[in-house]
Structure 1
């Protein structure tokens, strides 16, 4: 509400308030919330008389017209906009600024006139009273015109006998007035006058009662004049004289007037009478046949009947008269009415589903029987079933549902009306709880949500602290008012509470943020700097409690007591008779069943280890050997042994798989070339016939063309620069990828790379970033087996997407990632940032190994570099290799323990000692460490190869397993 100032005194209406607030600059526009002044262009609503800026209303109206509401298809719709104050619909957008009475456009602002007024007489038609003939005589003003104070015109009463004149505001222009005297206008009957007091409109039908006789003259009753039927004249002439009257209605009673025989009476219902009595229907001259009408009386008796009292003779034929029910009378010819029909007929129940036998209903519309079938149809509310026995609307409901299904199938976009039959209109009260939570819905059971609760309370509604109050009446279900005062509740923990506003009991106070020390869930240690409101705190360590099986411990992170996984569902892990770990669920304390064949993958080799084949172990308790067998050597093995004996590469190729151009461009950018090579390989293995590369430089396109020739593809450059790109096509042979990649080929034949400067020296001089692809655990705990290592490392390795293979290297264990979709850089980030910190904490806790660090494992399985190894050790390693030192043999991967490897090493040392005793002892030359190691490396490489030193294949050394 706008505040009132003390400058204005006296009564105030809408017009004076608008004038005063605009003149003082305190009237706000409800669109922009800025003040209106005398000089501003304004517009006022003709419904609520609120004043706005003209420009604000124009923008508001245009936005409202652009919002098209959802209307049914085909319905008449004209766009409208709504007043910002009263939501009244308007069709025309305000265009011009005018005064309040709209006589002057663009009025000039003056201080001696009301704001936005032209100073002329208003002259607008008044709205109070309605149909007032006088125009407003005030000066041009805002708001509605006041009620008319002038005298109204003279008005006659409804009957026209009197007239009256009142003030215009008290004059009733619609409906007129009544003088209260009788109307006395002639009624439509023409016999009576209207007895009502002076009234508007026509007098209506005559309601004056009259005593009138029936057609037969036996009864008399009062009938309204307007209900009289067309009169029928009746006359009776007898010994008492002649009686005449007019009959107006039918009494439906028997006539009971004697026939001319003076012995029988007329049994017809009330009918007009004739002057002379009617002929007796039993007279001998009128009755010529028996009662059934099939036989003449002359055929039954010889002499005719004497008079009307003589019996009518009967024949021996069946009556066969049609009864009221439609059946034929099956009795022998008889007098009087036919007896009741006793035939058995089939009659349907109310729902029409059951047919039963019953006596004939005698032609009267009786109530059909009801069967015991219960109607299961849903009522229109959608909540209740009909549950009526033998429902008459069940058939209609089935027809309605069938028509709706057909309408959906033939016209999917068309919606059908419900059209529920009257039997399935739910008449139960809704009874659902309203949103207020206190009252229930009193409407009839209906679909959709219930309406708003209309109950109200006349008690004050206050907030929790009672300092903010909502005055009555208060709608039912209203929430307490929003309170801006601080909350007065105390905290349970005793810490100072967080400042916040007052709120209801359903809303909790903010959580206490103070940091305290709390005991973890497993009760092993206390955790510091924990927010006070947190009750469940985990220390992050493994539970480690022995499970009921006695063989495994709980691997879950710190949890409440009793939360261990029981019974044990972990893998058994014990070594079976074949040496492989049992992969079945824990079955302690029982032995491993070994009924199913072992699924561990083993590698079968021939005697020379040239042939290798992977197979399942498949050993069981009854078949301990399983698939363990030695392969037979073939011609390839013999060729391989011959090549090794002649110091040749057994995997050599007769024709180089890659051209010099390919190798030259590959050496320029190996990382990008490796990506292109993978795309070539994927294209060769796919069913595509065409592949298009993105636009690239000419040097890169040269590499694509050269590599396409090596793969057997057809290549073509398309589009002008700088959008020129290369398109690959498969020929008739579809092209094949070489057995080795470019990196593998360069590693096997380093001299194949055309370069003028020794690439190895360039790599040594260039500070390169060390790359790692594996993890090494140094000095493993004595006596530990592979299953135990896997179980110890499972809490760390289970959360990463990499999968590792365990390889023993002396007393160390290598964790080598298996093939995955991650690149080398992503693998290194996963190892360095995620796994190494967790592994270091794990081995520091359980003493599994002495140290965990990153390392680089080459294609041959040898450790090329370690995280703790200095850079210059690479050069020393190459020098020792050139001197003829043999690298240590790689340990095979399997499930053997460290004891097996220690025994193998001791046996190998013993055999080496015996062989050395038989040979002459040779003095080993010591390698002196020179100061200029770069020059020494260059000299060694040239001396060994007779030319420039081969490049170091960094990409090949950083590959996966």
Structure 2
């Protein structure tokens, strides 16, 4: 047996160049395996110290300190195990959420259609009890609810990606389009920044609006979404429930109907617009002649179709139209009416009794010397415009003269400001407009880069073209002698939209283009079932399930195929009994149809390697002969 100083105890893990003392009766050290790992300066053997305690060649004690090191190692291992456990639990939770949020997984479920029908029925049950089961007014809302379950139907128009159950969303109150919360927040921030960058104000000083990417409905800066709410706005971060409409809280909507009638929506929390109000109210017709009758609140306004009978604005006739809403139409009758001055009479519409002829009034004014020069007018002609005190043409002197005399010129300088706005007229007081300013001055061009001596009345436009960028920040102004107020860019944007099918039709602009407004129908193979998706999503959207029977003609000798639903790709193999008459015995072949059996080819050329393409298919479809008759006969 080896001596104690030669015995080496093995530890867990890799122990390169490290060992611990083995237990011996004389040292009193319990046996514990040291943890693995590398340690600088450690030797390969353990020597017994004079005091009975073991020490390594590198001088590391393994006596009473060895259990403490082992405990620390176990604690670190336990801590690492807990971290890995938490990471695995988080990954499993995320996988479960993705499983429930994936609409493609739901499509594979056989009971999904029945489950969806129950969810839709529960959403509408409170409404249908008020309408005795009538769901005609629910068609638009039902379309939004069904799209919430269809694969690829709910698409964020900003990132052109599917909206899943477990993602935070925001719904526009104008068009009810749904967007990812991070996408709409970035859109709002970018829109406000672009608007503010076109002004001299700093970003954040004014409440710049931002538009919905689809309907352009404008929202204030304070209305930028910061929290994820359900459709009705009652619950923040609605829980994920497979028995509710995605992103719904399951409570009664209770939003006000539009137009407002005093009642609230009875559906469970739902996407899309609220349906018309189903409440019953008692109302009368527009003209108030018929007795009040009970009607739906959404259609409470009605017409009795009797003549209106209200007096028209002409004051002579009554409205003959059927009972109607709003004001009556103008009187359609024609009558002979005088103009306001009374000189002419004409047949005109009764609805417009006041009219003006084209003759000058011509009545004598109070001065007795002049006549009224106004065209056919209402009321008195007024005083003579030449009576009283009048100014000379330059407005410096005032004269009191009879209306029969013209005001003379005062002889002073005109001194009116000329059209240039800088110099004054140097002529004596005169009638008529002043002359054009002809003084020569040193003029700056509009852009301020050049000067030239020239007549004051002529504008100076240099030939220098502006090199500033327009508001799109892509194209230069290129206008001659631009004063700095460069016009907006008038070129077409033409950038490819996110759908990758169309180009932006807007005028050249900064920032992101608006989403493509087009929609595409993704159809099944026969075209009866379809789902409408935003342009660009048709590449990744799975075709909807079709309940119609496949109508392809059979490729075997049977007159019809086995009934199966519409599908893409080849039809499944025929499994009907062959029923061909056997030549030898005359019995019918009971075997399954074998007109198109897959047969593996033999004697094919074997390729030399994966780089060589096979010249013949491995399997071919061919008709097999009927098997021998198995019907027993008497001998």
Whether TM exceeds 0.5 here: the answer is: no
TM-score by length of 2: 0.34
TM-score by length of 1: 0.25
Query: Which of the two has greater helix per residue?
Result: 1
The higher relative CO (CA closer than 8 Å, separation ≥ 6) is in 2
Greater Cα radius of gyration, structure 1 or 2: 1
